Amino acid sequence: KSFSTTFYRNMLSSELSEADVSALRVNKERLARDLHHSCQWGFGIRWGDESTDTGMQRLALSEEDKSVRNWFIQTMKDLKCDITVDEMGNIFAVRAGRRKDVPATFIGSHLDTQPTGGRYDGILGVLSGVEALKRMDEMGLETEGGVGVVNWTNEEGARFPVSMISSGVWAECIALSKAHDLKEVPTVASLPTAASAPETMKSALQKIGYLGSMPCSYKSTPMAAHFELHIEQGPHLVSAGQRVGVVTAVQAYRWFRLNVIGRDTHTGTTAFEHRADALYAFARMMVRAREVAAGRGCLASVGIIEAKPGSVNTVPGEVSFSLDIRGPETELVAEVEKELRRDFDEIAAAEGAGIGKPCRVEWTLDFDSPAVKFHDDCIECVQQSAHAVVADASVADPKSLVRPIMSGAGHDSVFTSKRVPTSMIFVPCKDGLSHHPEEFCSADDCATGASVILQAVVRYDRRRFA
Amino acid sequence: KSFSTTFYRNMLSSELSEADVSALRVNKERLARDLHHSCQWGFGIRWGDESTDTGMQRLALSEEDKSVRNWFIQTMKDLKCDITVDEMGNIFAVRAGRRKDVPATFIGSHLDTQPTGGRYDGILGVLSGVEALKRMDEMGLETEGGVGVVNWTNEEGARFPVSMISSGVWAECIALSKAHDLKEVPTVASLPTAASAPETMKSALQKIGYLGSMPCSYKSTPMAAHFELHIEQGPHLVSAGQRVGVVTAVQAYRWFRLNVIGRDTHTGTTAFEHRADALYAFARMMVRAREVAAGRGCLASVGIIEAKPGSVNTVPGEVSFSLDIRGPETELVAEVEKELRRDFDEIAAAEGAGIGKPCRVEWTLDFDSPAVKFHDDCIECVQQSAHAVVADASVADPKSLVRPIMSGAGHDSVFTSKRVPTSMIFVPCKDGLSHHPEEFCSADDCATGASVILQAVVRYDRRRFA
Ligand SMILES: NC(=O)NCCC(=O)O
Ligand SMILES: NC(=O)NCCC(=O)O
């Protein structure tokens, strides 16, 4: 069943039949072309021979981020969208609906990447929105409410170490001033500005010209709902050969910065029992963290570490590191934290006990994201759309290609879900690998996900005015 | 027993009586004054209220190092010394003896410090030489051969990660080209140039104007012998209440740079068994290193660590770190290394086994310093001098204040000992603490050590022409 591009000319979403909606598909080739086109700004480590066989290194608010933002805005203007940039640099592009007095339904994600990131994490989410609007435009499909695409700033939390910070400010869960004052991680790989004094989010926004004037709040840029397409970033879909994940929930996580204070001393003349070696204490803590987290079905990870003073023959007297604890329930993460606070104190106390000056450990909570359940209406729209899109698959039970799934990673949808109906769509990625240059999602899988989000948005629009 | 400053006027070392030599003392107040004066260039972290209650941060070939070098040269010129600067920036200042055709006896050490170093490590050694020459000058004491003071470049190995590198080149144990090409540690604390491309030793020498033209070799700047005064940097003298260590030997050590290669991946979506977490592997390695070293009476320490890409929510796929292994015998260090090579391979193989892409670990040997025994003649001169200097102590058995000792730290004397008779003198330091801003040696202990080295040099001069 295939539709001519004129089929929907001047049709309104609410006038379509169920079969018409189920037949909606994006243009796979155009989506792939646009996606890789947008990856010209900030492409990273090469891993294969094809021109698109590279990772991405597009840290939030870098020059590369500025370029892709400019491209995004121009592209959306060409689609006659209305553009708004808020105080966190979030970009809202809205295609008007019939009714002017209601908020738009949004497709959103992010264009920033990890320092050694890939071409799909976040980027696919925004580009699926671009493609959905291109498709609606060429078909002449109109909606009751508007349909928007939003690019959220610094979702990764790689350059500025709070993930989803700008959707967090929008949801009024994070204070604007805290976000504006947040400093970049000085050691993040290859960041050209890392050399000089670290930028704050505000100074970085100013530098690239994306400090907008619109207040960053769900009150100023309201939404009817938020849908997000993302690669799974984990192994479940790909290893089961499934094609679409209907995301019902997101696991909890907390980010900490820890400082271990010991005593600088000579490596060659200081017996182990006379040391308060902050790095040795760290090593024991990291080993313990995995043990404790694993024991409760959780994760604990260290991504950033710095040891001072940083000399071969000086025992480090100060170590700071990041700790990322995750688990399927908020309570489990809290339990891991509690246990680790006790164990780390114990480890610190043991190191340096011989000189009566044991190490100390200090914790700072940088970010707290409790477990989230998405909205039933949105989940239903996604599920119906997913079943419709996979229906033509040549397997006995196409619906088996779709499964409900919990997200291990955080997403901007976590914060939009605090204020508006929200849900997400996952598609498989190679080896479940993400935050790695070789992160990969086939053009087919990208298009499947984008067709699902296109239908979900149309279904949501029909539903809200039914 | 006190001598007038004119006592020795126009006396020759060889004409003194044994009692005259034993009565030689430095000027304690002047030594302390000069020492702290020289610490105005590069003073570091403050820990007390006195003007001298700070550590030192005078990395090799920094602007501060340049300033103290200029001061050292001017001071030695004022004492009518002949100055030579070689291709490694080593500075030789020689006070002529009666005989012009023989090499001088040297007092040497270094003026560079750790990033969080103190005021005595190395500095006391050079300043004791300055004071010895000032004392000889004011007394009019002449020697048969000349007496020199040498300031060796980058003894610490903190900025350029090979310790004693310039005495090593002088001894022709390290190739000049290797030393010139050695890059600075990019992460060393607060180094102003760390921001830009790392300097090499050669470019840093040029930058501060200390790339001399004299070949760096014991053949071009020969010595009769090398004596070095140093704080112990360990707890033995201070905890036994002893005043002088007659250093007979230096323990062995090896410095390695290790790379652990794993796989970048998402912290939130990657189960532990799907990780090849290079930092987790490192943590296990560091814990193991202490176990293995302790089991053989050795030390193993990590001073520098870098994890890439350095993002809270990316499992580090690459970690590099320094490893410093020490032990009283060369063979013991080799055994620890061998065991750790096997264990680290095992640890690396376990991390990532679940995905069939385990971590790998690569070792690079940066520096190898086998155990050293000093020269009997020099040891004897030091021992006699030490007994003479402590003789007036008001204890039952003054000789009990002097003990033979092995050095845990490396010193330039390690390399001079390969070419000329060499030995060292230790004095106690507070809590045995070194490579720490609070490193401290009392003015009395400094003067005791300096008086011992003054006598030792005179004794050696008498002995070699006897
Ligand atoms: N999707 C994604 O990688 N988001 C970054 C936030 C997180 O660490 O989960
Ligand atoms: N004395 C001293 O601290 N030397 C530095 C070389 C070493 O690490 O032992």
Could you tell me if the CB of A114 is within 6 A of ligand 1?
no
Phi and psi torsions of B183, nearest 5°: -90, 150
CB A343, CB A281: distance < 8 Å: no
In sequence order, what are the residues at sequence separation of 6 or more whose Cβ sits closer than 8 angstroms to the Cβ of residue A397?
Answer: none
CA distance B324 to B231: 21
What the block records as the tokens of B321 is: 């770190």
**Using CB atoms, which residue from A114, A283, A317 is nearest to B283?**
A283
Could you tell me if B185 lies within 8 Å of chain A, comparing CB atoms? yes
3-class DSSP state of A384:
helix
Could you tell me if A310 lies within 8 Å of chain B, comparing CB atoms? yes
pLDDT value at residue A11:
87
Given a cut of 90, is residue A194 above it in pLDDT?
Answer: no
User: B34 CA to middle of ligand 2, Å?
Assistant: 23
Percentage of residues in chain A having pLDDT higher than 90: 94
pLDDT value at residue B105:
98
CA distance A300 to A294: 8
Q: pLDDT tens for residues A211-254?
A: 999 999 999 999 999 999 999 999 999 999 999 999 999 999 99
User: Which atom of ligand 1 has the smallest separation from the CA of A230?
Assistant: 1
Helix (H) or strand (E) holding B38: helix B28-38
Given a cut of 60, is residue A435 above it in pLDDT?
Answer: yes
Could you tell me if B424 lies within 8 Å of chain A, comparing CB atoms? no
| β-bridge mates for residue A406, sequence order | A249
User: Which atom of ligand 2 has the smallest separation from the CA of B326?
Assistant: 9
In sequence order, what are the residues at sequence separation of 6 or more whose Cβ sits closer than 8 angstroms to the Cβ of residue A462?
Answer: A13, A14, A16, A21, A144
CA dihedral A126, A130, A131, A133 (to 10 degrees): 130
**Using CB atoms, which residue from B253, B269, B277 is nearest to A408?**
B269
pLDDT value at residue A2:
42
Q: A153 to chain B, minimum CA–CA distance in Å?
A: 16
Could you tell me if the CB of A112 is within 6 A of ligand 1?
no
Q: What is the largest CA-CA distance in chain B?
A: 83
Could you tell me if the CB of A313 is within 6 A of ligand 2?
yes
CA distance B446 to B120: 9
CA distance B343 to B288: 8
Write the DSSP string, B66-110.
HHHHHHHHHHHHHTT-EEEEBTT--EEEEE--S-SSSPPEEEEE-
Could you tell me if B286 lies within 8 Å of chain A, comparing CB atoms? yes
CA distance B15 to B9: 12
Could you tell me if the CB of B448 is within 6 A of ligand 2?
no
Ligand nearest to the CA of A429: 1
Could you tell me if the CB of A411 is within 6 A of ligand 1?
yes
CB A89, CB A233: distance < 8 Å: no
Q: B235 to chain A, minimum CA–CA distance in Å?
A: 8
Phi and psi torsions of A44, nearest 5°: -110, -135
Could you tell me if B308 lies within 8 Å of chain A, comparing CB atoms? yes
Which of B285, B301, B308, B320 should one mutate to test binding to chain A, selecting the residue with the greatest count of A CBs within 10 A?
B301
pLDDT value at residue A10:
74
Q: pLDDT tens for residues A371-415?
A: 999 999 999 999 999 999 999 899 999 999 999 999 999 999 999
Could you tell me if A271 lies within 8 Å of chain B, comparing CB atoms? yes
Could you tell me if A253 lies within 8 Å of chain B, comparing CB atoms? yes
In sequence order, what are the residues at sequence separation of 6 or more whose Cβ sits closer than 8 angstroms to the Cβ of residue A33?
Answer: none
Of A117, A154, A151, nearest to A440 by C-alpha is A117
| β-bridge mates for residue A244, sequence order | A402
Contacts of B365 in chain A (CB under 8 A): none
Contacts of B372 in chain A (CB under 8 A): none
User: Which atom of ligand 1 has the smallest separation from the CA of B268?
Assistant: 9
Q: How many CB atoms lie within 10 A of CB B333?
A: 26
In sequence order, what are the residues at sequence separation of 6 or more whose Cβ sits closer than 8 angstroms to the Cβ of residue A338?
Answer: none
CA distance A22 to A17: 9
Q: What is the mean pLDDT of each run of 10 residues along chain B (466 residues)?
A: 54 93 97 98 93 96 97 98 98 97 97 97 98 96 97 97 98 98 78 66 98 98 98 97 98 98 98 98 98 98 97 97 98 98 98 95 97 98 98 94 98 98 98 97 98 98 94
pLDDT value at residue A1:
35
Ligand nearest to the CA of B157: 2
Of B267, B348, B262, nearest to B307 by C-alpha is B262
Which residue's C-alpha comes closest to atom 8 of ligand 2?
A313
Contacts of A267 in chain B (CB under 8 A): 299, 301, 303, 324, 326, 435
Q: pLDDT tens for residues A223-235?
A: 999 999 999 999 9
CB contact under 8 A, A267 and B156: no
| β-bridge mates for residue B364, sequence order | B257
Ligand nearest to the CA of A315: 2
Could you tell me if the CB of B168 is within 6 A of ligand 2?
no
Residues in chain A: 466
Specify whether the backbone of A452 is left (phi greater than 0), alpha (psi in -120 to 50) or beta. Answer: alpha
CB < 8 Å from A in window 27-66 of B:
none
In sequence order, what are the residues at sequence separation of 6 or more whose Cβ sits closer than 8 angstroms to the Cβ of residue B18?
Answer: none
CA distance B35 to B55: 13
Residue type, B135: R
Could you tell me if the CB of A124 is within 6 A of ligand 1?
no
User: A148 CA to middle of ligand 1, Å?
Assistant: 22
Could you tell me if A279 lies within 8 Å of chain B, comparing CB atoms? yes
CA distance A244 to A425: 7
What the block records as the tokens of B247 is: 């250093």
CA distance B212 to B216: 9
pLDDT value at residue A198:
87
In sequence order, what are the residues at sequence separation of 6 or more whose Cβ sits closer than 8 angstroms to the Cβ of residue A57?
Answer: A42, A43, A44, A45, A64, A113, A114, A115, A116, A117, A189, A190
What the block records as the tokens of B439 is: 């490193």
Q: pLDDT tens for residues A61-108?
A: 999 999 999 999 999 999 999 999 999 999 999 999 999 999 999 999
Residue type, A376: D
Could you tell me if A435 lies within 8 Å of chain B, comparing CB atoms? yes
Residue pointed to by tokens 């313990």: A288
User: B434 CA to middle of ligand 1, Å?
Assistant: 44
Could you tell me if B278 lies within 8 Å of chain A, comparing CB atoms? no
Omega before A309 within 30 of 0, i.e. cis: yes
Contacts of B163 in chain A (CB under 8 A): 312-313
CB contact under 8 A, B235 and A114: no
What the block records as the tokens of B297 is: 């009476």
Which pairs count as long-range contacts for A37-45, CB under 8 Å and 24+ apart, including other chains?
A38/A68, A38/A71, A38/A72, A38/A111, A38/A123, A38/A127, A39/A119, A39/A123, A41/A65, A41/A67, A41/A68, A41/A71, A42/A67, A42/A68, A42/A113, A44/A113, A44/A115, A44/A116, A44/A117, A44/A437, A45/A116, A45/A437
Of all residues in chain B, the one with the smallest CA distance to A300 is B267
- DSSP-derived letter for residue A241 is T
Report in angstroms the alpha-carbon separations of A423 from A377, A407, B4, B266.
9, 11, 93, 21
Which of A312, A315, A426, A439 should one mutate to test binding to chain B, selecting the residue with the greatest count of B CBs within 10 A?
A312
Instruction: Return the number of CB contacts < 8 Å for A and B.
Output: 266
pLDDT value at residue B427:
98
Q: B196 to chain A, minimum CA–CA distance in Å?
A: 7
Helices within A79-164 (DSSP H only)? 123-139
Q: pLDDT tens for residues A305-327?
A: 999 999 999 999 999 999 999 99
Contacts of A293 in chain B (CB under 8 A): 272
CB contact under 8 A, B161 and A312: yes
Of all residues in chain B, the one with the smallest CA distance to A367 is B312
Specify whether the backbone of A209 is left (phi greater than 0), alpha (psi in -120 to 50) or beta. Answer: left
pLDDT value at residue A466:
87
Q: How confident is the model at residue A197 (pLDDT cuts 50, 70, 90)?
A: confident
Q: Which of A153, A154, A155 is the best mutation target for the ligand 1 pocket, counting ligand atoms within 8 Å of the beta carbon and taking the most?
A: A155
Of A419, A369, A338, A334, nearest to A157 by C-alpha is A369
Contacts of B313 in chain A (CB under 8 A): 114, 156-158, 163, 301, 303, 324, 409, 435
